[in-house]
């Protein structure tokens, strides 16, 4: 069984104080004592059309953590989705998403801790081959 989470839409427009994020860091913590988990991460640009801009698959060993860094510098809005398997208990794995600006500083407006993530039924079904190729898109509804 997989548990799937979303940050929801994250505004990333550059303002007068230049607080946009250049990267989104997705951290996955595995609290299982004996079982490795797999986290599938998808990052979407939401600039009018939902476009896959990054995908990653992490294998996280028991009682350890791993992270993925995604470039969101060209996204005025973005969303991060994470599917974790195998797991049945929502407390087995904790996820955090953190934005950093071009200088590597944390962006407090793009800090989403596990408790703030939204559970969704499944990852958006846009094929992973879109990354690095012509992007697949889906109208944002």
| Residue 134 confidence class, pLDDT cut points 50, 70, 90 | very low
CA dihedral angle for residue 137, residue 12, residue 5, residue 69, rounded to 10 degrees:
90
Interval 59-95: pLDDT, tens:
999 999 999 999 999 899 999 999 999 876 767 899 9
Tell me what pLDDT residue 126 has: 80
pLDDT of residue 98: 97
Residue 29 domain-assigned (yes or no): yes
Asked if the model's pLDDT at residue 18 lies above 80, the reply is: no
What pLDDT is attached to residue 141?
44
Supply the range of the domain harboring residue 89.
3-123
Q: What's the mean pLDDT when you consider all of the chain?
A: 87
In a domain, 134, yes or no: no
Measure the CA–CA gap between 80 and 91, rounded to whole angstroms. Answer: 19
The CATH number for 56's domain is: 2.60.290
Asked if residue 83 is part of any domain, the answer here is yes
Q: Are 111 and 34 in contact (CB under 8 A)?
A: no
């Amino acid at each position: 069984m997989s548990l799937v989470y979303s940050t929801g839409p994250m505004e990333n427009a550059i303002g007068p104080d230049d607080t946009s994020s250049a990267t989104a860091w997705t951290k996955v913590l595995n609290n299982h004592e004996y079982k490795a988990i797999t986290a599938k991460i998808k990052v979407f640009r939401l600039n009018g059309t939902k476009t896959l801009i990054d995908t990653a698959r992490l294998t996280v060993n028991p009682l350890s953590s791993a992270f993925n860094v995604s470039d969101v510098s060209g996204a005025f809005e973005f969303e991060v989705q994470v599917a974790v398997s195998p797991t049945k208990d929502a407390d087995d794995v904790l996820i955090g998403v953190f934005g950093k600006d071009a200088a590597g500083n944390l962006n407090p407006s793009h800090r989403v801790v596990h408790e703030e993530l939204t559970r969704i039924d499944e990852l958006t079904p846009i094929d992973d081959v879109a990354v690095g190729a012509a992007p697949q898109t889906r109208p944002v509804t």
